[in-house]
Amino acid sequence: MALKRVLVVGGGSAGWITAAYLDAVLNGKTAKAVDITVIESPDIGRIGVGEATVPSVRDTMASIGADERTFMKAADATFKQAIKFVNWLDGAGEHYYHPFDRRQKGRLDRSGLRWMTSDRSTPFAHTVSAQPWLADDGRSAKPKGAQDYQSPLSYAYHMDAEKTAGFLCDLAVGRGVKHVLDLVVDVEMAPHGDIAAVKTKSGERLEADLFIDCTGFRALLIEGALKAGYEDYSDYLMCDRAVAMRVPYDAHWPGARKAYTTATALSSGWCWDIGLASRRGVGYVYSSRFIDDDAAEAELRAFEGPHSDDIAARTLKFRTGRRIQPWTRNCVAIGLSSGFIEPLESTGLFLVELSAATLAEYFPFGGEMQPLADRFNAIIDQRYEEILDFVVLHYCITRRTDTAFWREVSKPNRIPDRLASWLETWKLKSPSHSDFHDSLQLFSHHTYEYVLYGMDHGRERIANIDPARLPATPVPRDVQGAVAQGRRVLPSHDDWLRAELGEAYAPPA
Ligand code: FAD
């Protein structure tokens, strides 16, 4: 079979994850099936955000063949075992966790009902998962000495976006992936409508059988050349900007690196807080319909504190939605060129990983591509719809009415029909196994329950019960056991980082 030529245009996280993954899984150590080149512009930077992940990243890194500790050191990485949502319910300082771990209860899981018919003195997540307890303790997600990518509890990483792309670039190039630093200035079309080649500023003409568009929001090939079409989601998700800062620990040490992402609701959106090894990444995702850029930056600085006064901030504009045909003709869009849903559940890199893995599974080794493209597009389309619903859920069940933004996002016309229908159903029953039966699904009844009960949804179901008769919330034995075991084997997050990755990871003096 002839060697297939793949040209990845763009060298951000999407470009390098895709190139490193395809090379690792499609090429043997000696025999090559695909010849991969990545071209990236030295003049157009990477977006530089995208630093919180979900557990699938461990499989991706393992498939790429990266040694975990080497990767973590190169990427300034730390562990993530949950997202902590603060102020989403009524803005009075309350919080809930969405952890990765969940004690399985089989098909008929009564955890939600049990919690709802109790006095709710313990938050729901603490009754079904050890991780909220361990996150509150400041523990690592992984014991010392554990094998690469293994732990009794599920986990992901916080990782520096620039450094991760750089690490994967070095690894892939070391294995034979070609790297061209040049600007693509033109896309040459073949008479039958496929892409024939791209032309660069320095006069090169690069041909390929398959082009992967990883040019970020520019979408140079998939939209610029192929007009693949776009479905806009901004009626449902109103945030369209972010202002981001990198806060070094020598400017402000919060006392420990947290093994969870914090997402705090602010006046017109929310703020992420991601603790890397040597700095925090913070950013305010907001809607420009409700706050202007200067006011958003001022609100972020006020929230972060006076130590942020001299730290540079960067404003990013984004559009929420997805490319209708991410695989069109001989071009596959992966990363921001394929679409974007705000980063509340860290799904951007997940979609990159899924796209790379799906492309490897459906790789067009034969001549014909369309049936493979149709299936790929159906899989990615379903994931976008799934992520849209789940992210909207966080907004639409809020009780906040303190700003115009919060009053707007909870209006019925801001809820996709699918989600609205499920919310009606979940007034009658808890989310359960059979509500979600797609094997590629990222979010399940477990994740929906974390958000719904974290937001105190579903009170109607116990409206007829006298509150005085509700028993104290029980914490089942298996959860208590997992917490006790975690406390025995998991050191503090700072201890793990220092012991396993070296003195460079020691907390600042
Ligand atoms: P980019 O990083 O923009 O890379 C584009 C590449 O294309 C660059 O290398 C550039 O040089 C190249 N390029 C462009 N034009 C040309 C040209 N003409 N010629 C040659 N090269 C060209 N995801 C998560 O999973 N978790 C998060 O916490 C998260 N937070 C986010 C926060 C914000 C505010 C935003 C906007 C996104 C976030 N994401 C997050 C998404 C994540 O950042 C992206 O999915 C990821 O970084 C992939 O970006 P990319 O590689 O597609 O684009």
What pLDDT, on a 0 to 100 scale, did the predictor assign at position 3? 78
Active site residues: 80
String of DSSP letters for 229-280: -EEE-TTT----EEEEEEEETTT---SS--SSEEEEEETTEEEEEEE-SSEE
Nearest CA to 161 among 249, 266, 45, 42?
Answer: 45
Report, as an integer, the average pLDDT of 116-138: 95
**What is the atom index within ligand 1 of the atom nearest the CA of 14?**
51
Give residue 80 CA to ligand 1 midpoint distance, Å: 21
Contact residues for 238 (Cβ-Cβ < 8 A; gap 6+) = 287, 289, 290, 405, 408, 409, 414
Give the range among 86-95, 223-232, 400-409, 464-473 with minimum mean pLDDT: 464-473
Angstrom distance (rounded) from CA 338 to CA 233 = 13
Give the residue, 401 or 2, on which the prediction is more confident. 401
**What is the atom index within ligand 1 of the atom nearest the CA of 283?**
34
The answer to whether residue 382 scores a pLDDT higher than 80 is yes
The answer to whether residue 461 scores a pLDDT higher than 80 is no
Answer yes or no: is the C-beta of 334 below 6 A from any ligand 1 atom.
no
**What is the atom index within ligand 1 of the atom nearest the CA of 40?**
21
Tokens (6 digits) for 443: 């979010």
Take atom 33 of ligand 1 and give the residue whose Cα is closest.
49
Contact residues for 122 (Cβ-Cβ < 8 A; gap 6+) = 473, 475
What pLDDT, on a 0 to 100 scale, did the predictor assign at position 1? 64
Answer yes or no: is the C-beta of 54 below 6 A from any ligand 1 atom.
no
**What is the atom index within ligand 1 of the atom nearest the CA of 16?**
51
Angstrom distance (rounded) from CA 493 to CA 77 = 12
Report, as an integer, the average pLDDT of 408-421: 97
Take atom 53 of ligand 1 and give the residue whose Cα is closest.
216
The answer to whether residue 405 scores a pLDDT higher than 70 is yes
What pLDDT, on a 0 to 100 scale, did the predictor assign at position 214? 98
Take atom 38 of ligand 1 and give the residue whose Cα is closest.
50
Q: How confident is the model at residue 51 (pLDDT cuts 50, 70, 90)?
A: very high
pLDDT digits (tens, 9 = 90+) for 253-267: 999 999 999 999 999
Nearest CA to 465 among 121, 123, 116, 124?
Answer: 116
Angstrom distance (rounded) from CA 407 to CA 95 = 20
What pLDDT, on a 0 to 100 scale, did the predictor assign at position 31? 84
Report, as an integer, the average pLDDT of 403-412: 97
pLDDT digits (tens, 9 = 90+) for 328-361: 999 999 999 999 999 999 999 999 999 999 999 9
Give residue 329 CA to ligand 1 midpoint distance, Å: 23
Answer yes or no: is the C-beta of 335 below 6 A from any ligand 1 atom.
yes
Q: How confident is the model at residue 213 (pLDDT cuts 50, 70, 90)?
A: very high
Answer yes or no: is the C-beta of 214 below 6 A from any ligand 1 atom.
yes
Cβ(469)–Cβ(111) below 8 Å = no
Q: How confident is the model at residue 30 (pLDDT cuts 50, 70, 90)?
A: confident
Report, as an integer, the average pLDDT of 180-205: 98
Answer yes or no: is the C-beta of 339 below 6 A from any ligand 1 atom.
no
Report, as an integer, the average pLDDT of 380-393: 98
Report, as an integer, the average pLDDT of 130-143: 97
Angstrom distance (rounded) from CA 316 to CA 346 = 17
pTM exceeds 0.85: yes
What pLDDT, on a 0 to 100 scale, did the predictor assign at position 460? 76
Nearest CA to 392 among 282, 272, 238, 241?
Answer: 238
| Percent of the chain residues topping a pLDDT of 90 | 89
Q: Probe ligand 1: pick from 38, 47, 202, max atoms within 8 Å of CB?
A: 47
Report, as an integer, the average pLDDT of 47-61: 96
Return mean pLDDT, the chain. Answer: 95
Cβ(474)–Cβ(254) below 8 Å = no
